[in-house]
Amino acid sequence: MALVAPALAIVIAFFALPAVRLIATGASGPLGWRAYAAVLVQPRYATSLVETIVISAATTLAALALAGTLAVIVARARFPGRAALIAALTLPLAFPGVVVGFLVIAMGGRIGIVNAISSALGGPRIVFAYSLVGLFVGYLYFSLPRVFLTMLGAAEQLDASLEDAARSLGARPWQVVRDVLLPGLQPALIAAGAICFATAMGAFGTAFTLATRLDVLPMVIYTAFTLDADIATAATLSVVLGVVTWATLLLARNATGAETAAAG
């Protein structure tokens, strides 16, 4: 019991008490505890929640497809410069969300590279940095290295002889992927996808830089807290965001097992 006490004290002080305080603050407004149901039916907040979930899900699917495929290729191949390629693919880990937002602006902003090339070729002005497309690109750029590292470790643990056996039995490439690769990588896919989704749901720095006209949930919480001084609404939305994220991680943990989810 003496060994458990320090850990229990940390959990209570840094997790339980702040969470209880946040939940109580969300119910301190005029609607009381009904505020948690109200934010799900009020058009602005409901739309913001759905928009945030959709862009987070799209980011997760794209990151799993791109980073997962690349991780399998890198895990199987041995070539000069492999270490340099892995280092380059994980470079975005060094950038905070605000820097990622500025990179997207440099690419798709009003004076960005894409717009400059389009104008030089006589085409229309292409500005996407401040739209859902720009936010998606920023979230994807931020998520790719995290998914890649998780999937690379899982891909390196797969037994390549199983793929060779499937091919020798006449399996087509897509059948090898469906029947061998995907089942073997499924726990890592679920764990990496859950972490990617949770990160995108709560991403603030990139959204703050790009979402000037978008109401993703982190920006709505920021506006309610800092500009409107509506602490109760900000707390309510924070709890809703936390519940959605926690539920996603819980589902992934149940689907893959405690060890895999923790490793992811």
Phi, psi of 122 (to 5 degrees): 85, 10
Q: Is residue 70, in this structure, part of any structural domain at all?
A: yes
Domain that holds residue 166: 43-263
| H or E stretch at 194 | helix 182-202
C-alpha span between 112 and 119 (Å, rounded): 11
C-alpha span between 8 and 13 (Å, rounded): 9
Nearest to 136 by CA among 38, 229, 60, 50: 60
Q: Is residue 10, in this structure, part of any structural domain at all?
A: no
C-alpha span between 231 and 30 (Å, rounded): 12
Nearest to 191 by CA among 239, 144, 253, 106: 253
Q: Is residue 38, in this structure, part of any structural domain at all?
A: no
Q: Is residue 26, in this structure, part of any structural domain at all?
A: no
Q: Please give the pLDDT value at position 264.
A: 40
Q: Please give the pLDDT value at position 257.
A: 64
C-alpha span between 54 and 214 (Å, rounded): 13
Amino acid at 56: S
- Widest CA span of the chain, in angstroms? 73
Q: Please give the pLDDT value at position 177.
A: 83
Q: Please give the pLDDT value at position 214.
A: 78
Q: Is residue 12, in this structure, part of any structural domain at all?
A: no
Query: Which residues of the chain have a pLDDT value below 70?
Result: 1-3, 212, 257-264
Cβ–Cβ < 8 Å for 236, 30: no
Q: Please give the pLDDT value at position 112.
A: 86
| 55's tokens | 């862009």
CATH number of residue 216's parent domain: 1.10.3720.10
C-alpha span between 214 and 48 (Å, rounded): 9
| 96's tokens | 């905070």
Amino acid at 33: W
C-alpha span between 106 and 115 (Å, rounded): 10
- Cα angle 144, 53, 221 (rounded to 5 degrees) comes to 100
Total structural domains within the chain: 1
Q: Is residue 47, in this structure, part of any structural domain at all?
A: yes
0.75 exceeded by pTM: yes
C-alpha span between 3 and 1 (Å, rounded): 5
Q: Is residue 146, in this structure, part of any structural domain at all?
A: yes
Q: Is residue 8, in this structure, part of any structural domain at all?
A: no
Q: Please give the pLDDT value at position 105.
A: 92
